[in-house]
Homo-oligomer: A and B are copies of this chain.
């Protein structure tokens, strides 16, 4: 990921840094005059212009039109975050303030919502947190309740203290005691295993069951299979989408609508977040790096969060490419840790 740049002088790097800093703050193209003042070096605008010309040649900045200043390109931002950026850790008091948010005893889902709101609140961007992956969620208990003829309500309790429920249909009417037996059977068999394992075991069990087991067990397995079937689908919680309306570069109704639609659709975003689970640590997509057109003018900063030493989800923020990476990155990082810690306590 790190890219070496033998052909870019120390000075040019510094200028790029200052330019991007300034652009992130002001949102306006920055010209040679401004940069001369801002850079701290004792150089005339003319000199700066030469350097800027070089940076443009390298593809790090570009001019929106002949007589505007320069703005960073995607590659410019990329170089900036990869090699120019020094992320200073968050000051302790901020972290402490954030930790308090998570201190309150709440269900995992609430915690995840808080994390999302926290992210959007502090960064003034949109916050996003994926729900924990099911492979890492442990089966704790299942319960079947008869609703009506042939319809049963299945309640699945997982290690996170999270409850999922689904209505399932059986091919025949089941009595309460039958259901009781079924759930006992499953609870004994699977307690403490993770859902992925449960599901694969279930398939084997199903073969065997037909020949050697009684009707109840077959039913139980069928039901459990139905419950787990849809559990594969992932999801995320988003907060502060409206923050994005504040940015000039996204103020175009057309773009905004596409963006919001993408948020609701969830598919693309989910796919992107998925990629972030595999990479370790902070992951950043800038502009069109995401590959999705709707996110062309957005960046995404993510960090995976862990429970029990394993990565179970991702969280981060989405905002305009012109976002304060330096400030955002440590916040995302810290939030991931705090959320992980908070979730850990629940087990």
Contact = CB atoms under 8 A, between A and B. Distances in A.
A167 B163 contact: no
A253 interface: yes
Nearest to A245: B257
A292 interface: no
A106 interface: yes
Interface string A294-309: 0000000000000000
Contact of A260 (B145, B169, B241): B241
Interface of A: 105-107, 140-141, 143, 145, 147-148, 151, 153, 155, 157, 161-163, 165-167, 169, 241-242, 245-246, 251, 253, 256-257, 260-261, 264, 346-347
B245 A256 contact: yes
A107 B165 contact: yes
A316 B87 CA distance: 49
A167 B106 CA distance: 7
B161 A147 contact: yes
A105 B167 CA distance: 9
A165 B347 CA distance: 17
A163 B157 contact: no
A42 to B, nearest CB: 42
7 closest residue pairs by CB, A with B:
A163-B165, A245-B257, A242-B260, A107-B167, A147-B161, A242-B257, A153-B161
A166 B256 CA distance: 36
A240 to B, nearest CB: 9
B153 A163 contact: yes
Contacts of A155: 143, 155, 157, 163
A251 B245 CA distance: 12
Contact of A251 (B151, B242, B253, B260): B253
Contact of A157 (B105, B140, B153, B257): B153
Nearest to A254: B245
Contacts of A157: 145, 153, 155
Nearest to A109: B165
Contacts of A241: 260
Contacts of A161: 147, 151, 153, 167
